[in-house]
Amino acid sequence: MPDLTNFKKLGLSDETLRALSEKGFEEPTKIQEECIPLLLKDQVDVIGQAQTGTGKTAAFGLPILEIVDPSIRAVQALILTPTRELAIQVADEITSLRGTKRIEVASIYGGASMDNQLRKLKRGVQVVVGTPGRIQDHLKRGSLKLNQLKFAVLDEADEMLDMGFIEDIENILSLTPNEKRMLCFSATMPKPILNLASRFMDHPTIVKVEQTALTRNLTDQVYFEVRESDKLEALCRIIDMEEAFYGIIFCRTKVQCDDIGRKLQERGYDAEALHGDLSQKQRELILNKMKSRNISIIVATDVAARGIDINDLTHVINYSIPQAPEAYIHRIGRTGRAGKMGTAITFITPSEFRKFNFIQRASKTDIRKATVPDAKDIISIRRERIESELLSLLTNNVENEQFIPIARKLLESYDSELVLASVLTHFYKDALDESKYKDLSTSRNSRNRDLPSRFSQDDGFVRLFIARGRKDGLGKRELVSYLTSQVKANDSDIQDVTVRDEFSFVSAPFEVAEDIIRIINKSSSGSKPLVSRAKPDNPNGKNLTRNKRPSTRRSESRAPRRSSSDDFQPYGRDSRGDDSWESKPSSDSRKSKSHGKYNKNRKRR
C-alpha cells in the first residue's frame, strides 16, 4: 500500500486517495503539489506552465473530481485539447482517477460518430473533454449546454494556438458563465495565450515548473552531424545499437514520414508512419499497436504527434531539425519521464548549424555532439548480446527434454560447432552481417561559408538556376519568400542562396526542387523556363558574364554592394509574399517581426 501522506496534505478526500493508491501513485509531482491546493482550498484561477509528462492532467483532474457534483446531470467541467488523441488520453486519465464516484466523462472530438456523442450528452455527463472544432459544433446544435459550468480548462494551450484554434477558444469561452473557474496549462506562454488569460481569467495565480531542469536531468540530448543522404543509415545504426529501441522519429513532411516508415519496414524494423492523411481509425490502430509493443517505432510529423502520450519511450529522434525551439522542447519532452532516462537525438546537416545553435540557445540546454556508431562496434555489441541470451538459457534450466534426442542425433553425425552455428544462423539470420551497413559518406564536417556550393544531389539537394536577379528587384530574402510561398515549403528548404544581377541560384531538397521547377515554369508566360537545374560543371554560374562587353567605367564593372538582406539566411517567417517576379517585389512589403528578431540575433553573433 503506497504512502499517500503528501497527497492527503493537498486536501484530497479518502475516496480520491483510494483511487490514487489503486493507480500506484506515491508522491505528487511539482505541478500537482502547487496546483491542487490552489484549486481546492484557495479556489482561484490558475495558469500552469509545465511540459507534457509532468502530471498536469491529475493536477487539474483531481480537484475537478472533488468539486463536481455527481447528482447534477449537467456539464460542470469543460476541458479543451488541441488533438483527438489528447482528448481521449485526458478523458481516460480522469475516468481512472474518479474511483467509485459516479461522475460521467465524455470525450468529444471530430472524426468520431456524432450520433454517439449526441447520445452521451443527452444522457447527461459532468465532464467533457474535447477539441475546439467539435465542441463548437455541439454548442451550435444546442446539444452541449454550459450554463452550469464550474471549470473551463485549456490543456496544451500553446499547441492550440499553433494549430489556429485561438478564435474558436475565444468563441467557446464567451459562452461560459462568468463565475466559473478557469485553468490554463501550457508548456510555453506566448503573448497571445497571456492576452487570452487576461481577458477571461480573474487575477490568475501562475505556477511554473522549470522546463530546463526536467530535460537536463532525465534526457540525454545528443546531435549527430550527417549528410542528408546518410540519415537513414545513421538512424538504422542507432536503432541497432540499442537492446530495446522504443521511440518516435520526427520528420518534417507527410511524404517523408511515409518514405522513412516504408524503408524501415523494408529493412525489417517494426515501424509505422503517423501523419494527418490517415483516418482516425488508422491513427488509433497504430497508437494501440505502439502501446501494446506490437511495434516499437512511430515515424511522425509534429502535427500528427500532438497529444500522443506513450509511456517509457527510450528515444526521440529528430530526423528533420525542428522548425522552432518550442517544437524541440515538445519533441524531447516525450522521453525521459517518470524518473526514467531517455535519449533525444537530432540529425544536423552542415547547413543547419545556424538554426541548430539558435534552438540550443533558446531552449537553454546543452546538446552534446556524438559520432554515428561504427558498423564494427554494432556487430560487437550484438555478438555479446547473443552470447548473453544463450548463457541465460543454459543457466536458467529451460525445459528442453523433448529436444535432447534430436540434439544427440545431430551431434553423433555432425561437428558440434557446425550444429550450433546452423541453429544460431537460423534464429539470428543476418544479425552479425557487417555488410548490411552501408558506408557513410566521407564526413566533411565543414561549415566553411566560402565553399562554392555545400549541397549536391548526394546530399539530397538539387541546385537550381533561376533566370531572375538583382535587376529584377530580387534579394535573398525576396527570392526565398517567393519560392516558399509558391510551393508551400519551409524557409529551411531553400538553402545556399546566391543572387547575381541577372540570375540566381538556390539549393532545395529533391521533392521541393521538382515542385519549384514545375509550378513556377507553369505560371511563367515566357518561352524560356524561369527555373532549371544548374549545370553540373558550373553550379554557381561562374564566368557566365565573361563574354559580355566590358564596361568602360570602373564603377560599372564592380558588382553591386550586397545589402544586409542579401546576406540574410532565413529561419522561420511569420508571413510570406505572393508577388510575382514579373512585378518587382518590395523587400519592405515582406518584412515581418520574425525577420527583425532574427536579424538582431544575427548581429549579436
Dihedral angle computed from the Cα positions of residues 524, 526, 531 and 537, in that order, rounded to the nearest 10 degrees? 170
| CA 474 to each of CA 481, 520, 584: distance values in angstroms, whole numbers, following the listed order | 10, 16, 7
Asked if pLDDT for residue 601 goes beyond 80, the answer is no
CATH homologous superfamily for the domain 5-209: P-loop containing nucleotide triphosphate hydrolases (3.40.50.300)
User: Which pLDDT score, from 0 to 100, does residue 306 have?
Assistant: 66
User: Which pLDDT score, from 0 to 100, does residue 326 have?
Assistant: 67
How far apart are alpha carbons 144 and 109 in whole angstroms? 13
User: Which pLDDT score, from 0 to 100, does residue 357 have?
Assistant: 81
Which of the residue ranges 279-288, 368-377, 387-396 would you say has the lowest mean pLDDT? 387-396
User: Which pLDDT score, from 0 to 100, does residue 262 have?
Assistant: 93
Q: What are the pLDDT digits (tens) for 81-93?
A: 988 878 887 898 8
As a whole number, the mean pLDDT across the chain is: 78
Instruction: Name the pLDDT band for 117 (thresholds 50, 70, 90).
Output: very high
Mean pLDDT computed over 8-16? 89
User: Which pLDDT score, from 0 to 100, does residue 557 have?
Assistant: 38
Asked if pLDDT for residue 591 goes beyond 50, the answer is no
Q: What are the pLDDT digits (tens) for 171-230?
A: 999 999 988 999 998 877 888 888 888 889 988 999 887 654 444 457 889 999 998 889
Mean pLDDT computed over 356-364? 76
Closest Cα to residue 226, out of 435, 373, 379, 375?
A: 373
Which of the residue ranges 177-186, 203-212, 479-488, 494-503 would you say has the lowest mean pLDDT? 203-212
Domain ranges of the chain: 5-209, 213-372, 376-436, 457-542+559-604
Query: How far is Cα of residue 279 from the mean position of the Cα atoms in its chain?
Result: 19
Closest Cα to residue 530, out of 475, 472, 476?
A: 472
More confident residue, 107 or 425: 107
Indicate if the alpha-carbon torsion angle 255, 356, 567, 591 is positive or negative: positive
Fold that domain 213-372 belongs to in CATH: Rossmann fold (3.40.50)
Edge-to-edge order in the sheet of strand 495-499: 495-499, 504-509, 461-466, 531-533
Q: What are the pLDDT digits (tens) for 318-340?
A: 999 887 776 787 788 888 776 67
Indicate the CATH number for domain 457-542+559-604.
Answer: 3.30.70.330
Closest Cα to residue 477, out of 596, 558, 603?
A: 596
Q: What are the pLDDT digits (tens) for 261-281?
A: 999 999 889 999 998 788 878
User: Which pLDDT score, from 0 to 100, does residue 510 have?
Assistant: 81
User: Which pLDDT score, from 0 to 100, does residue 231 have?
Assistant: 93
Instruction: Name the pLDDT band for 149 (thresholds 50, 70, 90).
Output: very high
User: Which pLDDT score, from 0 to 100, does residue 172 have?
Assistant: 95
Read off the DSSP letter of residue 206.
E
Using a 10 angstrom Cβ sphere, with 0-12 exposed, 13-18 middle and 19 or more buried, the burial of residue 235 is buried
User: Which pLDDT score, from 0 to 100, does residue 382 have?
Assistant: 78
Read off the DSSP letter of residue 559.
P
Identical topology for domains 5-209 and 457-542+559-604: no
Asked if pLDDT for residue 576 goes beyond 80, the answer is no
Residue 21: how many other CB atoms lie within 10 Å: 16
pTM, rounded to two decimals: 0.48
Tell me the β-bridge partners of 507. Answer: 463, 495
Residue % of the chain over a pLDDT of 70: 79
For residue 198, what are the contacts with CB-CB under 8 A and spacing of at least 6?
none
Q: What are the pLDDT digits (tens) for 542-565?
A: 444 333 344 433 333 333 433 333
Which H or E element spans position 216? helix 211-218
Indicate if the alpha-carbon torsion angle 408, 413, 417, 422 is positive or negative: negative
More confident residue, 474 or 569: 474
More confident residue, 366 or 398: 366
How far apart are alpha carbons 288 and 360 in whole angstroms? 33
Query: How far is Cα of residue 565 from the mean position of the Cα atoms in its chain?
Result: 30
Q: State how beta strands 105-108 and 127-130 pair.
A: parallel
User: Which pLDDT score, from 0 to 100, does residue 350 have?
Assistant: 82
User: Which pLDDT score, from 0 to 100, does residue 426 have?
Assistant: 72
Instruction: Name the pLDDT band for 77 (thresholds 50, 70, 90).
Output: very high
Asked if pLDDT for residue 315 goes beyond 60, the answer is yes
Instruction: Name the pLDDT band for 400 (thresholds 50, 70, 90).
Output: confident
Q: Phi and psi for 102 in degrees, rounded to 5?
A: -90, 65
